[in-house]
């Protein structure tokens, strides 16, 4: 281990806490929680041992590849008013768009043409969308291309989830955003924490590979909340977990609230890797966007992350899907794979173009 800071927490001490953490992972209890708090509290500059350990867990359970998923954001309409999100229904300043069937299909083809074999179709909770059309597109993509399809369209009726599953969608992403019920309900007016959990359980029951995740740096979120989130991930055994920093949007309720700490985000990814072992963990776009001159996805890749989700939303719509400002993907274009190839090289990894299904062996 390289990092051994004078005056700070020693590597030996850090490893002792990690050992304590691991001794009880199979029975997530208060001791695990305490270890997580201690590790989250270590300053980033002194967290080398934690990050390196997470990297070794990733290597052992997920291998050396960086899995790729191409994301297509097909509707920016949303009926919700999440405090942090730029697409909140109350934001009248943005121009909204909805892609039609042919556009969604063609965007999936663009993903397929690069060799990437997962397309993620994401939208707001668009109450005016023709969801049966989406079912149809899913069928068509499955018929034409050898691809896995992930949907991320929020909370929907069980029947609709079932239709999508039958049409051939194999995965679904629905972030819990925070596992603290009180905090969740403060940030999501008219939404219920239990309703969201119910959706996640429905998705699992239907056989979707299910992804969830959180935002780091939400107003009033504490270190205890984050430790609880990691325990929650472990208990729910998600196939994929996205962890990204909050980035303030000027047309949202949290517009005056400071951005989340990207380094705390990276530490949270590392601890989630250590606890969940083989969950897929993306180096998130928000993490890559929060610093102008540095792509912190690289740091996440060195601390347990094993997935990247390049953006394939057609250019003319891309800047309109502004969940937060300064998305790095606005600059990404057809040579995205070359850029990611470079990132893989720099981090001693390889790009993995396989479908990258869950490693949970269900
Ligand atoms: N900052 C960071 N992440 C955000 N998301 C939405 N708004 C923001 C923001 N301002 C994330 C949420 C959502 C995903 C699509 O984007 O976690 O689930």
Which residue, by CA, sits nearest to atom 8 of ligand 1? Answer: 85
Determine the distance separating the centroid of ligand 1 and the alpha carbon of 12, expressed in angstroms: 37
**DSSP for residue 88:** -
Determine the distance separating the centroid of ligand 1 and the alpha carbon of 188, expressed in angstroms: 12
Determine the distance separating the centroid of ligand 1 and the alpha carbon of 144, expressed in angstroms: 31
pLDDT single digits (tens) 124-178? 999 999 999 999 999 999 999 999 999 999 999 999 999 999 999 999 999 999 9
Determine the distance separating the centroid of ligand 1 and the alpha carbon of 324, expressed in angstroms: 7
How far is the C-alpha of 26 from the C-alpha of 46, rounded, in Å? 27
Ligand 1 binding pocket mutation candidate from 85, 200, 289, 313 (most atoms within 8 A of CB): 85
Q: Is the pTM of this model over 0.75?
A: yes
The binding-site residues of ligand 1, defined as CB within 6 angstroms of any ligand atom, are 84-85, 175, 177, 215, 244, 246-247, 249, 286, 323-324
Helices (H), the chain: 11-23, 30-41, 48-62, 101-113, 131-144, 158-167, 181-187, 193-205, 223-236, 262-276, 285-289, 297-301, 315-318, 336-346
Note the pLDDT of residue 2. 37
What order of strands is seen across the sheet that includes strand 307-308?
307-308, 65-68, 350-352
How far is the C-alpha of 74 from the C-alpha of 209, rounded, in Å? 21
C-beta atoms surrounding 266 within 10 Å? 29
Which residue, by CA, sits nearest to atom 18 of ligand 1? Answer: 175
pLDDT single digits (tens) 247-257? 999 999 999 99
C-alpha dihedral sign at 339, 342, 348, 352: positive
Q: Which atom of ligand 1 is nearest to the CA of 249?
A: 10
Which residue, by CA, sits nearest to atom 15 of ligand 1? Answer: 323
pLDDT single digits (tens) 289-348? 999 899 999 999 999 999 999 999 999 999 999 999 998 877 777 789 999 999 999 999
* Residue 19 and residue 65 in contact, taking contact as beta carbons nearer than 8 Å: no
Helix (H) or strand (E) run with residue 326 in it: none
**DSSP for residue 96:** P
How far is the C-alpha of 56 from the C-alpha of 61, rounded, in Å? 9
The single residue listed with the structure tokens 């097909």 is: 74
Residue 130 φ/ψ, nearest 5 degrees: -85, 90
Determine the distance separating the centroid of ligand 1 and the alpha carbon of 189, expressed in angstroms: 16
How far is the C-alpha of 259 from the C-alpha of 289, rounded, in Å? 12
Determine the distance separating the centroid of ligand 1 and the alpha carbon of 175, expressed in angstroms: 9
pLDDT single digits (tens) 171-223? 999 999 999 999 999 999 999 999 999 999 999 999 999 999 999 999 999 99
Q: Which atom of ligand 1 is nearest to the CA of 122?
A: 15
Note the pLDDT of residue 24. 58
pLDDT, the chain, mean: 94
Determine the distance separating the centroid of ligand 1 and the alpha carbon of 245, expressed in angstroms: 8
Q: In 3D, which of 262, 258, 193 has the Cα closest to residue 229?
A: 193
- When pLDDT is cut at 50, 70 and 90, the band that residue 26 belongs to is low
User: Burial of 190 by CB count in 10 Å (0-12 exposed, 13-18 middle, 19+ buried)?
Assistant: exposed
Q: Which atom of ligand 1 is nearest to the CA of 84?
A: 10
C-alpha 155, offset from chain centre: 17
Q: Tokens at residue 352, please?
A: 């993995």
How far is the C-alpha of 195 from the C-alpha of 24, rounded, in Å? 30
Determine the distance separating the centroid of ligand 1 and the alpha carbon of 96, expressed in angstroms: 17
**DSSP for residue 324:** S
* Residue 301 and residue 349 in contact, taking contact as beta carbons nearer than 8 Å: yes
Ligand 1 binding pocket mutation candidate from 286, 326, 327 (most atoms within 8 A of CB): 286
Q: Which atom of ligand 1 is nearest to the CA of 174?
A: 18
Q: In 3D, which of 299, 296, 285 has the Cα closest to residue 336?
A: 285
Note the pLDDT of residue 362. 76
How far is the C-alpha of 45 from the C-alpha of 9, rounded, in Å? 10
Q: How many CA atoms lie within 13 A of 263 on its CB side?
A: 10
């Amino acid at each position: 281990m390289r990092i051994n800071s004078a005056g700070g927490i020693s590597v030996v001490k850090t490893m002792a806490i990690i050992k304590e953490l691991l001794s009880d992972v199979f029975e997530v209890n208060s001791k695990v929680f305490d270890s997580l708090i201690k590790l989250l509290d270590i300053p980033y500059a002194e967290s080398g041992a934690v990050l390196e350990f997470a990297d070794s867990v990733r290597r052992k359970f997920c291998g050396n590849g960086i899995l790729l998923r191409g994301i297509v954001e097909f509707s920016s309409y949303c009926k919700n008013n999440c405090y942090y999100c730029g697409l909140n229904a109350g934001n009248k300043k943005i121009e909204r768009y909805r892609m039609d069937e042919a556009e969604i299909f063609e965007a999936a083809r663009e993903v397929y043409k690069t060799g990437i074999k997962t397309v993620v179709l994401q939208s707001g909770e668009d109450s005016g969308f023709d969801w049966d059309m989406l079912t149809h597109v899913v069928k068509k993509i499955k018929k034409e291309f050898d691809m896995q399809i992930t949907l991320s369209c929020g909370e929907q009726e069980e029947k609709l989830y079932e239709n999508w599953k039958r049409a051939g969608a194999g995965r679904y992403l629905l972030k819990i955003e925070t596992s603290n019920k009180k905090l969740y309900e403060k940030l999501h007016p008219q939404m219920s924490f239990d309703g969201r959990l119910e959706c996640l359980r429905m998705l699992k029951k239907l056989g979707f590979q299910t992804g969830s995740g959180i935002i780091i740096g939400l107003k009033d979120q504490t270190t205890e909340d984050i430790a609880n989130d990691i325990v929650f991930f472990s208990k729910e055994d998600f196939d994929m977990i996205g962890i990204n920093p909050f980035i303030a949007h000027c047309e949202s309720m949290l517009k005056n609230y400071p951005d989340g700490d990207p380094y705390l985000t990276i530490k949270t990814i590392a601890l989630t890797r250590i606890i969940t072992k083989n969950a897929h963990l993306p180096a998130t776009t928000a993490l890559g966007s929060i610093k102008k001159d540095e792509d912190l996805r690289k740091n996440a890749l060195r601390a347990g992350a094993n997935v990247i989700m390049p953006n394939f939303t057609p250019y003319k719509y891309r800047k309109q899907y502004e969940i937060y400002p300064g998305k790095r993907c606005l600059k990404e274009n057809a040579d995205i794979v070359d850029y990611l190839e470079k990132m893989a090289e720099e981090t001693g990894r390889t790009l993995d173009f396989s479908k990258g299904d869950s490693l949970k062996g269900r």
